Each structure stands twice: as C-alpha cells, then as structure tokens.
Amino acid sequence: TRLDAVDRAVLEALVPDGVEPVQHLNVELGDRSYPIAFGADLSAELTEAVRRELAGGRRLAVVTDERVRAAQAALFEAAFAGVPVLAVPGGETSKCLSQLEAVCDFLAAERVDRRGLVLAVGGGVVGDLAGFAAASYLRGVDFWQVPTTLLAMVDSAVGGKTGVNLKAGKNLVGAFHQPRAVWCSMRVLETLPEREFAAGMAEVIKTGLLGDARLFETVAEEAVSGPRDPRLPAIVRRCCEIKAAVVKADERETAASGGRALLNLGHTFAHAIEAVAGYGEYLHGEAVGVGLVAAARLSAALGLIGEGAVQQVETVVAAHALPVALRAPLPLEALMAAMQRDKKVRDGRLRFVVMEKLGQAATREDVDAELVRAIWRRLGAAAG
C-alpha cells in the first residue's frame, strides 16, 4: 500500500539501542491507509513526529480532557510542547454538540488551516469528539489518534467512526473520517483507573466473541490483571488486527449482512442502557459488558448456542469486574424505544448481532420484540 511522506515519517522507528522496537500495523484503505504504532513507551517517537510536523510549517492542535491532561502531564510536556491544547471536561457528557462547537471554535482561534493536524489525546470520548471536529472543520482536516485508554486502543481509535451523542441516542451525529496515524503506547495505561481498564476489557471480550475464539479463550482461562499483564500488548495488537480487517472489508458498514456491523456485538443493548440511564452513569464498556450477556442470551434463545456458552460469557465478563445485569432497574419500554432509535435500524427493523458460536457472529433482523423484552426483564428491567 502506498503511504504518503507524512505516514512514512510516522512509520520510522526512531529507537535507541537497547529499547524495545516499535511495531506497526497498517489499516489498508488505499490512499487513506494509515499505520498503527505499538510500543511499551512511544513518547520519544511521538515527540519526534510532532516536531517534524511543526518544522514543516504545519499548524497543530491537541484536544484532550482534563483528567488525561493531569494524568499524562509528562507526555504533554515532552511531546506537545508549543502546541495549543484544549482540555474538555472528562466523561461521556462531553461527547455532545456544545463541546463539538467548542472544539471547532478552538481550531479556528488557533488558525488551523486545511493543512492542519488535530491530535486526539485521550479515550473514546475525546477520539470521537476530536475526530468529528476534524471531519467537520474546514470540511475535513487530518487528525491523529493518541489513545490513552484500553477501550480506545482496541476499538474506538481504529476505523474512522467519529461522532457525538444526542439525547435520543448514542452516536446519532457523526462522520466516517479515518485518522492518519494511531499511537498505542502501553505505558499510558498505567495511570488508568481500574474501572476504566475493566471497561476496555469489555471490547476485548467482544472482539474475541465475534471473530477470534482463541482470543476469547485467552481471557477466559485467566482474567487480564491490569496494564502490566504481559499478555496485554499482544491482546491489543490482535484486537487492532481484527478491526483493521473488518474495516478494510466494510468501511462504511454497508454490507447487507455481517460486515462492520459485527463490531456492534452487544452494543444494541449497551447503547440503550447508556441512553436511558443517562450518559455517564455507566461507562461505555460497562454497558457493553451487560450487552454481551444479553447478546449471548438472545443467541441461545434463537437456538444458536447452548446455555453452557451463555454461562461462559457471563463468567468471563464478571471476572473482568464488569456488570452482567443492570445495576438498578430501568424502564423496559424506554429501553425498547431507545433500541428503535439505534443507528442499526433498517427500514424500521432492528438488526441484532448474535453469536453462532463463541468466536463467530452474524447479524439477524428477524428477532421478535417479545423475546427482546424477556431478555431485558432477565437483566433487571422494570415494567413501565
């Protein structure tokens, strides 16, 4: 795949003797292909890449959140010296139209032009928000993803989905806008709160369930202990490999069945939980944990997997400190209504992602609403 000069500079391994080399994986999308860099500590490489861009006369701007700015102070001081920074409030509530306006105003105030480069430094909220701003501002400028959470590394930073939430539902406003590079530096995960790390593991479990039985077995045999688990770098890379392959085959989620929609395993339930509970009540990965259990129960009810497989999914989700049911009752009909506003609705019919077996998923549109209601009740939803 041809890469332009900017990406070739990103791909250079500027590694001193005795330091673990940087690994790369390409997301293959023709002239919009881009590298994902993996390493124990990419701060030196990122610093050098930023300096190259500045030396070339490019206007750069960093979008982050307040918590990441504080937790990664050394990275900001080293890598982004001299680059203007906007820090939005932390949390899902920042993924909204008012913060999108604030980011665009920031880019305009810093005179970022069409050659400009936006650096999204943070978790999924920052990546989605800054990425959508980059897609919208001046009708599209380049951006890099610098994920600082496990969830962003294994899922949201790769693939080019950007957007914000509405009161009506999750990610209802957005754009497909691929980054020009993604930087996965394992060291930044060491400052991640345990709850945030667990939320990221939900997306790891999801990836194994939809496309790699061996990956699922790896986390089922022994729960990932945290950012210093020696298996984690390989797990992150494998998740990115799977997502890159899916995105290459169905970038804009237009396949009649399967395709990129498979990456939404558990998410139809999860997005409804987030919308009805109020954004921020559940971390996205926590809602996905419940959603994976729901998807497993739906798959069993459709005769695709057995009860033993459902119990295995529930056990693995719980082993990673994720909820397997609603923490408190939510109104059943509000959850059903939220599902109907989901992006995956086609011609009024809701598409679910189900498991044909552990490690293999498919999409289904023939799911009876009463069956879905029964699953919600089992998860703890309340009548009304």
Q: Is 320 a catalytic residue?
A: no
- Token digits of residue 375: 């699953």
- Token digits of residue 321: 């400190």
Catalytic residue among 243, 343, 344, 351: 243
Catalytic residue among 206, 264, 286, 351: 264
Q: Report yes or no: 129 and 175 within 8 Å, Cβ to Cβ.
A: no
The helix-helix angle for 307-319 and 213-221 (nearest 10°) equals 60
Q: Is 341 a catalytic residue?
A: no
Catalytic residue among 95, 238, 271, 320: 271
Q: Which helix (H) or strand (E) holds 362?
A: strand 360-364
Return the SS3 of 327: coil
Residue 60 backbone zone (phi > 0: left; psi -120 to 50: alpha; other: beta): beta
Burial class of residue 290 in the structure, from the number of CB atoms within 10 Å of its CB (0-12 exposed, 13-18 middle, 19+ buried): buried
Q: Is 139 a catalytic residue?
A: yes
The helix-helix angle for 194-211 and 232-249 (nearest 10°) equals 50
Q: Is 264 a catalytic residue?
A: yes
Instruction: Spell out where 131-188 has E strands.
Output: 142-147, 161-166, 169-176, 181-185
Angle at 223 between CA 297 and CA 319, to 5 degrees: 45
Q: Report yes or no: 178 and 141 within 8 Å, Cβ to Cβ.
A: no
Q: Is 297 a catalytic residue?
A: no
Catalytic residue among 177, 206, 260, 351: 260
Catalytic residue among 251, 253, 274, 286: 253
Q: Is 161 a catalytic residue?
A: yes
Catalytic residue among 53, 92, 196, 203: 203
Catalytic residue among 59, 67, 284, 343: 284
Q: Is 24 a catalytic residue?
A: no
Catalytic residue among 161, 180, 206, 344: 161
Q: Is 101 a catalytic residue?
A: no
Catalytic residue among 59, 69, 170, 267: 267
Residues designated catalytic: 139, 161, 203, 243, 253, 260, 264, 267, 271, 284
